[in-house]
Amino acid sequence: MTTLNPKSKLLLVEDDKSVSQTLRTILSEEGYEVSIAESIAKARELIQREYFHGVLLDLWLPDGNGLDFIKELREQLPLSPIIVITAHGKTEHVVRSIKEGAYDFLEKPFSMERLLLTLKKALEFSFGEEEGEEMVGNSRAVMAVKELIRKVAKSELSVLILGESGVGKELVARQIHRLSGRKRFVDLNCANLSDELFEAELFGYEKGAFTSAHSRKEGKLELAHEGTLFLDEIGDLSPKAQAKLLRVLETKQFSRLGGNQVITSNFRLISASNKDLKAMVEEGSFREDLYHRIAGVVIEVPPLRERKEDIPLLVEFFLKKYHCKKHFTEESLKLLKSHRWKGNVRELKNFVERLCILHEGEEVSKADVERFLGITYQEDLSELFEEKDLRTAKQKFEKLFIQKKLREYNGDVKKVAEVIGIDLSNLYRKIKLYGIEI
C-alpha cells in the first residue's frame, strides 16, 4: 500500500471552539497538520489558498448547512476524502452526505480511535491501493494528475502523456490501463527504431517475410487486442512511421508483414513523449492529423522540481521498497529538496538505491547526501547570478567557497586557513558569521 505522508494536511470545518481545539491537538499528535475553519466562508477561503488531503466537516455551521458545501468541496478537492461529523445525525443526513460524495459519516460523540481509523482508511483509499502502480505523492500537482487519470481511465479516448525523462510517464500509462479494466498492457518504445523495425514490431510478420523471419510473429497491435497499446517516445517516429501509424488508428486494421490477412484490433492507445509535440507540428516534423488522433486527452506530468514537497514521501517509499532501514536528518531532506533533480523521480530512485547499498549506518546526514549525489557547486553558483546586490552575491560565494574547502580538507580549519591565505581567527569569524557547520 502506498505510504502516507506523516504531515498530511487536514481541514477541520467546525464552529465549536472546544471541539475544534481538542481535535486539532489529538490529530497533531498523530502527525497531521490541521487548519481550522469556523464557517463555510472561512473554509472556502482556505481551500483557495492551500491543498488539503482530507476534510472533517460539521453539518451545522453559522453561515450554512455542511451538506450543501460537500459538492463544492468535491469540486475543489476532488481526491480528498470528506468525513462528516455532527451531533444531530439523521438517516436522511447520512444518506445525502454519502450521495453527495462524503467518505463517511460520524455522529458525535464518537471515539477518537474510530475517527483516526476512519481517517487513515480514507486517506489510504485516496492515495491509491496498489504499491508501485500509482504516482507516489500528495502535492497539488500530483493530485491533479491522479484525478485526470481516474476521469479518463474508463473512456475510449486516446491519451498523450507529456513530461521530462524520469517523471513517471509509463507509471501514469499503467495506472490508466489498470483502472480501465482492459485485458493486457502492451508497450513499445519508439526511440531509436528504424522504420523497418518499427513496422515489424507494430504489425508483426509472417515466416519468410524477410531474411531473419524464421517463424510467424504477432505484432504489438495484435497482442493489444482488447487491451492497451502504449507507445513511448512517440515523438521519435519518422514521417514514414507516422503515416503507417495514422492509417492503423483510422481503421484499426492492418496486415502482418509478408501476409495478406486483414487483422482487426480493438486497442486503446496511450502515447508518451518528452518532446514538445505541438512545436514539432508547427515546424513540420510531426503530423498534425496524427497529433489530433493521439491527443484525445493530454496529461502533463510535472517534473520533480515542481513538486518538491513530495520528495520526503518518495524517499520513504523507496526506502521501504528496498527494505532499507535508513533515517534522513532534517538537513539532509532539506538538501534533497533544494537539488534540481534533472533526472526527476528516476534519479531520486537511483540515489536512494545506491545509498542503501553503499552507505554505512542508519542515519543519513547532509554530508552523506552531498557525497552520494556528487554535488558540485554549479547549481549553487547559478543562483549567485540571480542576485542583484553585489555584496550579497560576494557573501554567498564566500560561504560556498569556505564550505567546499572545509569538506576538501575534512574539516581541518587550520589547514583551510593556510590554504586560502587568511588568519585562523578571521576564518573562525567567517564560519560563525555564515553559520557554517564543521
Instruction: Find the CATH number of the domain harbouring 364.
Output: 1.10.8.60
Same domain, 390 and 255: no
Same domain, 188 and 248: yes
Helix axes 413-420, 390-408, angle to 10 degrees: 120
Q: How far apart are CA 48 and CA 174, in angstroms?
A: 32
User: Which letter does DSSP use for residue 275 in this model?
Assistant: S
Taking alpha carbons only, the member of 401, 173, 126, 122 closest to residue 297 is 173
Same domain, 338 and 207: no
Question: How many domains does the structure of the chain reveal?
Answer: 4
Same domain, 163 and 95: no
Quick: pLDDT tens for 337-383: 988 898 899 999 989 988 988 888 899 999 899 888 876 445 456 66
Last residue of a domain, one of 300, 330, 349: 300
Burial code of 49-77, b = ≥16 C-beta within 10 A, e = fewer?
Answer: eebbbbbbbbbebeeeebbebbeebbeeb
Phi, psi of 363 (to 5 degrees): -85, 140
- Pairing between β-strand 217-218 and β-strand 204-205 as defined by DSSP bridges: antiparallel
Q: How far apart are CA 188 and CA 220, in angstroms?
A: 7
Same domain, 120 and 172: no
- The CA-to-CA distance between both ends of the chain, in Å, stands at 40
The whole-model pTM stands at: 0.61
- Counting Cα atoms < 13 Å in the Cβ hemisphere of 191 gives 8
Last residue of a domain, one of 278, 300, 322: 300
Taking alpha carbons only, the member of 26, 109, 106 closest to residue 59 is 106
Taking alpha carbons only, the member of 377, 306, 303, 362 closest to residue 332 is 362
Same domain, 154 and 296: yes
Helix, strand, coil shares of the chain, percent, nearest 5, are: 50, 15, 35
Under-50 pLDDT residues of the chain: 1-6, 128-132, 376-377, 379
Classify burial at 290, counting beta carbons within 10 Å of its beta carbon; exposed 0-12, middle 13-18, buried 19 or more: buried
Same domain, 146 and 25: no
Asked if residue 165 belongs to a domain, the reply is: yes
Quick: pLDDT tens for 77-92: 776 889 998 876 566 7
Residue-number span of the structural domain to which 241 is assigned? 140-300
Instruction: Find the CATH number of the domain harbouring 24.
Output: 3.40.50.2300
Whole-number pLDDT of residue 417:
92
- Grid coordinates representing 287? 503530423
Classify burial at 420, counting beta carbons within 10 Å of its beta carbon; exposed 0-12, middle 13-18, buried 19 or more: exposed
Same domain, 152 and 271: yes
Last residue of a domain, one of 127, 154, 173: 127
Asked if residue 4 belongs to a domain, the reply is: no
CA separation, residue 314 to residues 203, 220, 317 (Å): 39, 33, 5
- Grid coordinates representing 143? 493530485
Asked if residue 134 belongs to a domain, the reply is: no
Q: How far apart are CA 224 and CA 241, in angstroms?
A: 19
CB 273 within 8 A of CB 233: yes
Same domain, 371 and 387: no
Whole-number pLDDT of residue 133:
52
Asked if residue 101 belongs to a domain, the reply is: yes
Strand partners, 160: 271, 298
Strand partners, 85: 58, 106
- The sign one gets for the Cα dihedral 51, 54, 58, 64 is positive
- Grid coordinates representing 295? 491527443
Same domain, 150 and 219: yes
